[in-house]
Chains A and B, each alone.
Chain A
């Protein structure tokens, strides 16, 4: 019996020594999915999506990771959501088939294919963005990444900022180009709790 127990402990030991991937879930109250786009060559319009969900996993030992983000396209917000006395707001227009086509494509998703590490921290996430039914590779550069260790009252928490550029016409969103810029800067600022 003792031999069997010892064998079981020995067999399990290598598994315990290998760090399992840690998974984290985005905290929506301390995360943002933002975009910036040129308007008439005059200024940059900034917008955000109010509803999204995401998870990522990290295996620092193996230098591997995985990122998934799902964005509710109807939640687009460029600080012009209130029609007031007008027939429509800019955000109404952005939700229409001219831009995000939220009725037909309620979600925009990003799924990583590779996470590049420098030391213990991820520096670049390579993945596929699916928008308007079109999937294209998009890289997000992680400008900073930091984790706070778990405490007696809180789980481990990681956060950072990532950004990448897309050409919206690549996804079939070509309305208004070039008056409204083709290139769009996508920024994800995030904090996530370990599951």
Chain B
């Protein structure tokens, strides 16, 4: 059993998928079903590095933020009316949190380089989170985006020389896949809300940034990741059965995810 749980495919894929399916099934009739994304990610963390927060490195801050984001999302979901201002403010807050997470890297730069990098980090996270928050009313589109973003950041993480970011990204894909599957089995969409979209949007943005700043992913892969949440907003056959719509949206997401993956694959490899 221990050998099985030490296998990366189980740690990042199989175990998070199973746990997310169970959690999604338990909360399917509530507005909390998308907590399954967090359950998938937390399973991966528990099976790999564990929940250690001292010293508070960028990686550990990411885990901490991943645990807090759903709570913050839940609070936003309770607001009587989530206006565009709330979405914008949440996106900006996510960008600011990203600066805090990677502060130790930023401080190693000086002057303009530090400011430019900080602004780039905040801008990327704010845009990606903003794009994923737009999907908060559609469980299928959000599920497809989570699947695509998780796979894209995971595989890009592997190509950047980090197993940690591979497992992290794949765990999000497993969670989103479990939620897509649950919706198909129940033949109805599950409420996503800020709870779901903020969690996977922020986490995948942080994984991608971590792969750039703490491993060797090229920066130009980051804007290409934005194609994933954009692709799932394309038209899908609205009157077709749920399974067909889910398949079409997942195909959009996976095709879009292939772009940053291929960019990472064909990027100059350096010395």
Cβ contact within 8 Å between B216 and A133: no
Q: Which residues of B have CB within 8 Å of A97?
A: 57-59, 162, 164-165, 210, 214-215
**Shortest distance between the CB of B3 and any CB in chain A (Å):** 10
Interface residues on B, range: 20 to 34
Q: Identify which of residues 132-180 in chain B touch chain A, using a CB-to-CB cut-off of 8 Å.
A: 158-165
- Could you tell me the dominant secondary structure of chain A's interface residues? loop
The answer, among A87, A96, A133, for a CB contact under 8 Å with B214, is A96
Q: Which residue of A lies closest to B2 (CB)?
A: A178
From A25-33, A49-57, A101-109, A138-146, give the one contacting chain B: A101-109
Quick one: given A87-B265, A106-B108, A179-B6, are A96 and B57 in contact (CB under 8 Å)? Answer: no
- For A95, the chain B residues whose CB sits under 8 A away are 161, 215
Please tell me which one of the listed residues A83, A96, A133, A179 contacts residue B269 in the complex, with CB atoms under 8 A apart. Answer: A83
Contacts of B162 in A (CB 8 A): 93, 96-98
Partner of A87, one of B55, B108, B159, B165: B159
Q: Which 10 A-B pairs have the closest CB atoms?
A: A133-B55, A88-B161, A97-B214, A92-B161, A96-B215, A96-B162, A93-B161, A98-B164, A87-B159, A96-B161
What are the residues of chain B within 8 A of A86 when measuring CB–CB?
A: 269
Q: Does A115 contact B (CB under 8 A)?
A: no
Residue B233 at the A interface, CB < 8 A? Answer: no
State A32–B161 Cα separation when bound (angstroms): 26
For residue B55, which residues in chain A have a CB less than 8 angstroms away from its CB?
132-134, 172
**Contact indicator B214/A88 (Cβ below 8 Å):** no
Cα A83 to Cα B271 in complex, Å, equals 7
Hey, which chain B residues are within 8 Å of A83, CB to CB? 269-271
Residues of chain A with a CB closer than 8 A to B49's CB: 172, 174-175
B214 touches A103 (CB 8 A): yes
Chain B residues whose CB sits within 8 angstroms of the CB of A93 once the complex forms: 161-163
